[in-house]
Amino acid sequence: MELSKRAKTLKTSPTLFLVAKAKELSAQGHDVISLTVGEPDWATFPAPSRAGIEAIEKGITKYTAAAGTIELRKAIIEKIKFELNQEYKPKEITVASGAKFIVFAALQMICSPGDEVIIGAPYWVSYPSMVELADGVPKIIDCTEAEHFKITPAKLEAAITAKTRGFLFCSPSNPTGLQYSLDELKALAGVLRKHPQIVVISDDMYNRLVLDGSKVAPHILEAAPDLKDRTVVVNGGSKAYSMTGWRIGWAAGPEKLIQAMSDYQSQATGSASSISQYAVEVALRKCEPDIAEVVKTLTLRRESGTKALSGVPGFKVFRPDGAFYFWVDIKACLGKSFQGKLVKSSKDFCDILLDHYFVATVPGIECGTEGYMRLSFAVSEESMAKAVERMKKFVSELV
C-alpha cells in the first residue's frame, strides 16, 4: 500500500512515544518514574467529576452543535471576562476535542501552502508538525538563555516576511515554565501592529498555573486589546482542571475564523463529547478554590524540585514562573561517556536515563533546543526526589 506524502513525513509525538516506552518498561516490572507528559497527577476536581456522572444519568449523551453547547460557550465567555477582561459573543467561541485539536484547526484554517508561522524555540513538541500538516512552513526562531528563552521584538521583526501568516506561542511556556511579562508582550505587540496579515495564536493552557501570586498570566490582549480582531485565544480543561482524558479545548477569536474552525471540526471530529462538555461547564463555574489549592501545591513542588535538581553536578535549573515544568541545562554532561558510549546529545542523555535508571524525561532537542531537558513536576515531591537521586547516580558515572 502506498501512503500519502503527508503520511510519509508525519512524525510521532515525542512525548507520547516516551510515555508509551515508560509504560512498556513498567509492564516489564521496572520502577519507572515518568517526568514526561504534561499531565497533572491530581484527580479531576469533585464538582466536574460528579457532573460527568450526572450527565450520563440524565441522558446528556447525544451530539451537540459542532462549536459546542451554548451553555459551555457562555461559561467560557464568563471565564475569559474574569481572566482577561475581554468580551466575546457565543459565535466567537468554539469547543473541540482537546486544545491540541483547537490549535490544529486554527492552523488548518489560516495556512495556505507555503505560508509561514513563527514559533520560538524551545517550543511545545507538536507545534512544527501541526504547521506542516496545514501545508505551512514553521519559521523557528532560536531563543537563547540570555533572552530567557523568549522571542524578542527584534527577532520577531527579523523573522517576518511576505509569507508570514501566523505567530504561535505559549505563556507560561511548555517546555520552560517561563512566561512573558506585560512589558514584553507590549513590545511584541508593537511589531505585530505593523503586520496586519499575521494571526496571533496565544496558547493559554497554563495561564492559571502561575506561581508568583497572580491569578492569571499576563496576556497579549491585556497588552494590546487592539489585536483582538486577529488573535485566537486557546485554552482547555486539561491542565488547571486536571481533565486531560475528558478532551475539551476551546478557542475565542474573530467570528469568521471561529466559524471556519467549527465547520472544519464538523467535518473532522464532529462535536466534542457531550458528557465532557457538561462536566467542564461545571468546572469553569465552580472550581476557583480548587485551582488555588493546586497552585499552592505546585509552588511547593517548584521550590523543593529546584533545590534538589540544582544539587546535581552539571545541571543548571531555570526556576519556572508557571506551568509545571523544569527546563534544565545539561550541556556540561554531554560529550562524556557512559559505559563506553559517548553521550553526544540530549536525546542520548535522556535515553540512557530511561533505559538504565528508569526516569523518563523529554530531551531538549525535541523542543527545538539542544543541550537541555524538560521535566514535569506534576508528580509528588517524593517521586521527584527519588528521580533526582537516580540522575545524580547517572551523572556520577559519566567519564
pLDDT digits (tens, 9 = 90+) for 165-215: 999 999 999 999 999 999 999 999 999 999 999 999 999 999 999 999 999
Domain residue spans in the chain? 5-43+290-396, 46-286
- Supply the pLDDT for residue 157: 98
The residue-averaged pLDDT of 235-256 equals 98
- Set of cell numbers at residue 136: 505551512
The residue-averaged pLDDT of 46-64 equals 98
The pTM score is 0.96
| Domain topology for 46-286 | Aspartate Aminotransferase; domain 2 (3.40.640)
Domain 5-43+290-396 has CATH 3.90.1150.10: yes
Listing DSSP states for 154-180 in one string gives HHHHHH--TTEEEEEEESS-TTT----
Q: Under a CB-based contact definition with an 8 Å cutoff, are residues 304 and 384 in contact?
A: yes
The residue-averaged pLDDT of 367-378 equals 97
For the cut 80, the answer to whether the pLDDT of residue 285 exceeds it is yes
For the cut 80, the answer to whether the pLDDT of residue 16 exceeds it is no
Burial 23-42 (b: 16+ CB within 10 A, else e): eebeeeeeebbbbbbbbbee
Nearest-angstrom CA–CA distance, 299 and 249: 25
Nearest-angstrom CA–CA distance, 338 and 329: 19
The residue-averaged pLDDT of 312-321 equals 97
Q: Where does the chain have alpha helices with state H?
A: 5-9, 14-27, 46-57, 70-84, 99-110, 127-133, 153-159, 182-192, 220-223, 255-268, 274-286, 288-310, 346-357, 381-396
Q: Count Cβ atoms within 10 A of the Cβ of residue 4 and give its class: 0-12 exposed, 13-18 middle, 19 or more buried.
A: exposed
Q: Under a CB-based contact definition with an 8 Å cutoff, are residues 207 and 216 in contact?
A: yes
Lowest-pLDDT range of 16-25, 50-59, 105-114: 16-25
Nearest-angstrom CA–CA distance, 116 and 141: 12
- Supply the pLDDT for residue 8: 83
